[in-house]
Amino acid sequence: MPFLAEEHLPIPDEDILSWIFDHVSYNWDMPIYIDAANPARTISARQALDTIGRLITGLKAAGVQQGDCICYPLAFLGIIGAGGIFAGTNPSYTTHELTHAIRTASIKHIIVEPPLLPAVLSAARTCSIPDAHVILFDPAASPPSPSPSPSAPHAVSTAQPTAYWAGRFASLFDRQRLAAFHAEGQAFRASGRVSDTFAAFVEADDERRARRVLAELAACCVTDDAARSLRAFQREFARRCGNDALMPSPALIVLGGSGGGGGGGEEGLRGGEGKGRKTGLGFMERLRGIAREARKSSV
């Protein structure tokens, strides 16, 4: 015979996003997610809601339909908000194991971190999932910040020429590189010598720094036209660098919150011309070359 509970708690009949964010009784700007490895990286309830909204926009633009299954907290809620079903996998899965998981759950879209991209792409292609449905998520990028309003000083609301984006990229890139040199300077004052590996560290870290800058620029785009012009610059810059990882992807559409579709697709993941090619020039020299050509073409 069944044993019924003596007390029955009310079960809300609203969707999970409304249940979480419509009844916030604490400070919206207080951190709710804190990176254990780096406590300085935090996300508040306000930033979480903003990020989830951008994920919903990006997933909808990528073609996610209600009931689609996508192979945490903010990504999970973004998937739920877009009407999808969340299905997690083990990051240590081999390509064969990923293929089995994708087929078993009838996966339609995948969110993946950069280190796992090769195995996921191989499994996705085996399962006939388009490259455009593989969304690259980079946790090393800058923490999310509230969406800029069209009147904000750094917001971009219209399409801009390549020279404009090259200038803004160079400014942000130099600022972040300077911070690395500043840290080395402090170490030099303490020890009296420059690290033997510092130059190699700065060059090797340029790719991560560039991705972070591109994500910041995408977050400044408040219209589809602005986001499209940034992606055009990004594709040219990635080709010059011979680096597929810098190509625009659906993830940048999400970060920018532009609501636009396409932009990256297979070209963003496969890299088009320049795949696997290294020019031997530094990031900033290649950037200056792009800016010079853009100025010539506008004359």
Q: Are residues 248 and 173 in the same domain?
A: yes
Task: Determine the Cα–Cα distance for residues 206 and 59; give it in Å rounded to an integer.
Answer: 29
Q: So what's the pLDDT on residue 199?
A: 47
Q: Are residues 182 and 219 in the same domain?
A: yes
Residue 275 in tokens: 């795949």
Q: Are residues 222 and 114 in the same domain?
A: no
The kind and range of the H/E element at 34 are strand 31-34
Mark the ranges of the chain whose per-residue pLDDT is less than 50. Answer: 144, 194-195, 197-202, 250-281, 299
Cβ-defined contacts of 110-114 (< 8 Å, 24+): 110/70, 110/71, 110/134, 110/135, 111/70, 111/71, 111/75, 111/79, 111/135, 111/137, 112/136, 112/137, 113/137, 113/138, 113/139, 114/138, 114/245
CB contact at 8 A, 126 and 99: yes
Q: So what's the pLDDT on residue 259?
A: 35
- Among residues 155, 162, 159, which one has the least CA distance to residue 225? 159
Q: So what's the pLDDT on residue 103?
A: 94
- DSSP character at residue 221: B
- DSSP character at residue 271: -
Which CATH number do you get for residue 50? Answer: 3.40.50.980
Q: How many domains does the chain have?
A: 2
For 251-264, how does the pLDDT look when each residue is reduced to its tens digit (9 = 90+)?
Answer: 433 333 333 333 33
Task: Determine the Cα–Cα distance for residues 263 and 62; give it in Å rounded to an integer.
Answer: 10
- The values of phi and psi at residue 142, to 5°, are -60, 145
Q: So what's the pLDDT on residue 183?
A: 57
Q: In 33-44, which positions are buried (b, 16+ CB within 10 angstroms) versus exposed (e)? A: eeeeeeeeeebb
Altogether, the residues listed in the chain come to a count of: 299
Does residue 25 lie within any of the structural domains? no
Q: Please enumerate in sequence order all residues whose Cβ is within 8 A of that of 226, keeping only pairs 6 or more positions apart, or say none.
A: 156, 157, 158, 159, 160, 220, 258
Residue 46 in tokens: 């306000």
Q: Are residues 131 and 169 in the same domain?
A: no
Does residue 117 lie within any of the structural domains? yes
Residue 299 in tokens: 């004359």
Q: So what's the pLDDT on residue 127?
A: 94
Beta strand 107-112 pairing with 42-44: unpaired
Q: Are residues 126 and 234 in the same domain?
A: no
Domain boundary among 85, 118, 136: 136
- Among residues 108, 66, 63, which one has the least CA distance to residue 87? 108
Does residue 12 lie within any of the structural domains? no
- For residue 45, give its domain range: 38-136
Residues forming beta bridges with residue 135, ordered by sequence position: 111
Does residue 126 lie within any of the structural domains? yes
Q: So what's the pLDDT on residue 156?
A: 82
Orientation of helix 283-298 relative to helix 224-241, angle to 10°: 120
Q: Are residues 80 and 192 in the same domain?
A: no
Q: Are residues 256 and 214 in the same domain?
A: yes
Task: Determine the Cα–Cα distance for residues 120 and 126; give it in Å rounded to an integer.
Answer: 10
Q: So what's the pLDDT on residue 273?
A: 35
